[in-house]
Amino acid sequence: MRCCIANSSTLGDRVLTNAWTQLRYHELQAKMWRSKVRFIIAACGRGSGKTELARRRIVRYLAVRKPWPDPIYFYGLPTYKQAKRVAWEQLLALIPQDWLKGKPNISDMVVKTIFGSKLYVVGMDQPQRIEGVQWDGGVIDESADIKPGTFDRTVLPALAHREGWCLRIGVPKRYGIGALEFKRAFEEPGEKTETFNWPSSDILRPEEIALAMSKLGAADFREQYEASFEDISGAIFYAFSEALNVTEDILYNPSLPILVGSDFNVDPMSWVIGHRVGKDKVHIFDELSIRNTNTRQTLDELYRRYGQHSTGFEFFGDASGAARRSSADMSDYLQIRNDTRFSGARVYYPPANPRIASRFAATNGLLCNAKQERRCFIHPRCTHLIQDLKSRAYKEGTSDPDDYGDVGHMTDALGYPIHKLFPVRLESTGTDQIYSSN
């Protein structure tokens, strides 16, 4: 018999809400839905239905009778903020009105039902909300971002008395504080544990998969959409090829605005200079790498080289540059804005920095996407940038860049404009939208 994750508007004899839309039959989703094991680990692709299934599962359990009168469940995300944004209202929409006992408590994110059960929506960054209670079951969403040790130290003991179940779901990410722990849990499942793994293409439309292939480098695509646990090893910019991304053909074009990516590190100040070409290409034709300098002197050098340029400048940097002072009373960005030699320049900096992993992914996606298309080209005179693309690597066994000395500044400078113009998000937004628009 096919399973009924939601192919009817009822669950047994109970009427469900409109949020229980009909899902297409998917063999592994159906198997997961039916599974009775205590622990389930689902490492599946982006947008592949993990969260949808987990929400429905926990709501279904609210109506299940237990030997005790007060079954209690949690739906956890890495932070309270995320839980509030992507779980609370979405769970409420799945719970029929006539199941509710009293009004949902919005400030504590708790729902009580007429069956005596309760559902808490929690941020796993507040383990005290889990500890000290014996739970009947729970979901941990975005597991690769959960602080290591949380499951063993906080969750497992809290499930012991009632033999509670736990569904741990996430993308098999390389980055994220809990990525390694999630990988181990998936690869070495303990007793009473079942694992699931299916790619995004089982659920997402082919156009969405094609879009992801054009935005992401091969390893990021395999990880995010094919649900493959990729190794973190070696070069951060794995998509870069000196033979294929570096070419003498990349030239300054007086008819295009000049794009400047700036890392406001004082030593060495590291800026890349290029153009956006057509809709989706970036050409870097020059760089500035200057020791013991400041923003003002670097602008002098930019002016010396390109002061005659008349079709505009666009400056990109990171959020900390917006706040940090590089002289007594003016931030780096204010200096650029107030420099009359560049009047009319557009100055972009994000209000907060994107996750570094997303910036690296955007850069790799432009250097060479999963369709093997290259859209970022660099002139050989940019020796510091090329060296940094070749050599910047992760610290062994971690997803932290092993930056020392001059390493990292030039590729950061390149990453700011790329991430602004061609953004990629590796973290779930909790909506169907995976890429922000340009």
Ligand X SMILES: Nc1ncnc2c1ncn2[C@@H]1O[C@H](COP(=O)(O)OP(=O)(O)OP(=O)(O)O)[C@@H](O)[C@H]1O
Residue ranges that bind Mg ion, judged by CB under 5 A: 51, 428
Task: Pick between residue 227 and residue 376 the one whose CB is nearest to ligand X.
Answer: 227
Min. distance of Cβ 376 from ligand X in angstroms?
26
Spatial distance between the Cα atoms of 438 and 434, rounded to a whole number of angstroms: 13
Question: What spatial distance separates the first Cα and last Cα of the chain, rounded to whole Å?
Answer: 46
C-beta atoms surrounding 191 within 10 Å? 7
* 46 binds, options ligand X, Mg ion, none, Cβ within 5 to 8 A by partner type: ligand X
Q: Closest-CB residue for Mg ion?
A: 51
Task: Pick between residue 42 and residue 111 the one whose CB is nearest to ligand X.
Answer: 42
Min. distance of Cβ 436 from ligand X in angstroms?
14
Min. distance of Cβ 400 from Mg ion in angstroms?
25
Strands across the sheet with 39-43, in order? 110-112, 118-123, 72-77, 137-140, 165-170, 39-43, 193-196
Min. distance of Cβ 432 from ligand X in angstroms?
5
Min. distance of Cβ 200 from Mg ion in angstroms?
11
Which positions ≥6 away from 38 have C-beta within 8 Å? Answer: 159, 163, 164, 165, 166, 192, 193
Q: Closest-CB residue for ligand X?
A: 49
What three-state secondary structure class fits 337? helix
Spatial distance between the Cα atoms of 236 and 390, rounded to a whole number of angstroms: 9
* 419 binds, options Mg ion, ligand X, none, Cβ within 5 to 8 A by partner type: none
Spatial distance between the Cα atoms of 348 and 218, rounded to a whole number of angstroms: 29
CA angle 309, 315, 318 (to 5 degrees): 160
* 130 binds, options ligand X, Mg ion, none, Cβ within 5 to 8 A by partner type: none
List contacts with ligand X (CB under 6 A). Answer: 23-24, 26, 29, 44, 46-52, 171, 203, 428, 432
* 203 binds, options Mg ion, ligand X, none, Cβ within 5 to 8 A by partner type: ligand X
Task: Pick between residue 183 and residue 375 the one whose CB is nearest to ligand X.
Answer: 183
Task: Pick between residue 44 and residue 259 the one whose CB is nearest to ligand X.
Answer: 44
Spatial distance between the Cα atoms of 209 and 320, rounded to a whole number of angstroms: 34
Min. distance of Cβ 221 from Mg ion in angstroms?
18
* 52 binds, options ligand X, Mg ion, none, Cβ within 5 to 8 A by partner type: ligand X
Q: If you ran DSSP here, which 8-state letter would residue 406 be given?
A: T
| Closest by CA position to 141, among listed 431, 430, 434 | 430
